Structure 1
């Protein structure tokens, strides 16, 4: 079940995923080594089953509630998941990780909000605020 503000939940969950994945063990094992060790296809299946499925379910619920623009939820899930995996690698290479996390958090928020439906089914403008 979605919290009262699914946008805030999506943004905060995405930021939390990035922070959790930034531990040295997680970043190295899950993002760097796993695709090579077990093969990219199997790694993608595992990623889709665990973190990807939660993201997909959340986006699917938001779409059903009319909160997303009319886009493929499956494609959007893949794009957001892939972006977050890449961001983990990028932040991991920065000298100042906290600054990088802040920068990424702002970008993730803007990117996610770009998919917010601007008008409801009656044509009334919907606020862009979280």
Structure 2
């Protein structure tokens, strides 16, 4: 019983650190947020609590980054799942472009993500969360006959790279809503070229 209580408290502390860091990283950015500030705002005692759960601030950022990715996938899962695979793929990719207008996705996933994690780890994490879903929908589109048989691994990588770059374009733009419209148009044209009738 006591072990269960200790485990519960440890999990509550970890969750408080992630939630607080997430909020601070969005508002101040990773580099302007100190570990002491996170610990104080989370109300978890000393920095020892943070280092008990995370090797360093970067490891905490990775946990926050992954939580934002998980939330994006969960919200995509709650979207309309009826229709053909290419329609669902379009909805998911454009949904990510819409999400790239939010301060949380812009700051954590698109701006600080590559800077904090480094390009290689950022790309690997993006692939882990997006690549499988894209490939599964492409596979389904081939089975449905709306997409011709082709090397799906390459196509999935290309689509993920395209939408990631489009989101980075939006996040770095002086006028993000206008950039989003341009990015949506470009991605729509790219997807239109996939159909077997094109």
| The two structures share one fold, judged by TM-score above 0.5 | yes
- Structure 1 gaps, min length 5: 119-127
Tell me the equivalent position of 1:77: 156
Structure with the bigger RCO (C-alpha within 8 Å, sep 6+) is: 1
TM-score scaled by structure 1?
0.75
Alignment of 1:52 onto 2:115: no
- Whether the 8 Å contact between 2:148 and 2:195 is mirrored in structure 1 is yes
Question: Which of these two proteins has the greater Rg computed from alpha carbons?
Answer: 2
TM-score, normalising length from structure 2?
A: 0.52
Listed as ranges, the matches of 1:1-130 within 5 Å are 3-118=82-197
Larger helix percent: 2
- Does the 8 Å contact 2:94/2:184 carry over to 1? yes
- TM-align CA RMSD: 2.1
Shift of residue 68 of structure 1? 1.3
Change (3 A) 1:45 1:92: closer
Question: C-alpha offsets along residues 60-106 of structure 1, whole Å, 9 cap, x if unaligned?
Answer: 11122222133211111111111111111111233332222222212
When the two structures are aligned, how many residues end up with a matched partner? 118
Residues 4, 51 of structure 1: CA spacing in aligned structure 2 closer, same or farther, 3 A cutoff?
same
Stretches of structure 2 lacking an aligned partner (at least 5 in a row):
1-80
- The whole-number CA distance in structure 2 between the counterparts of 1:74 and 1:28 is 29
Kept in 1: contact 2:113–2:122 (CA 8 A): yes
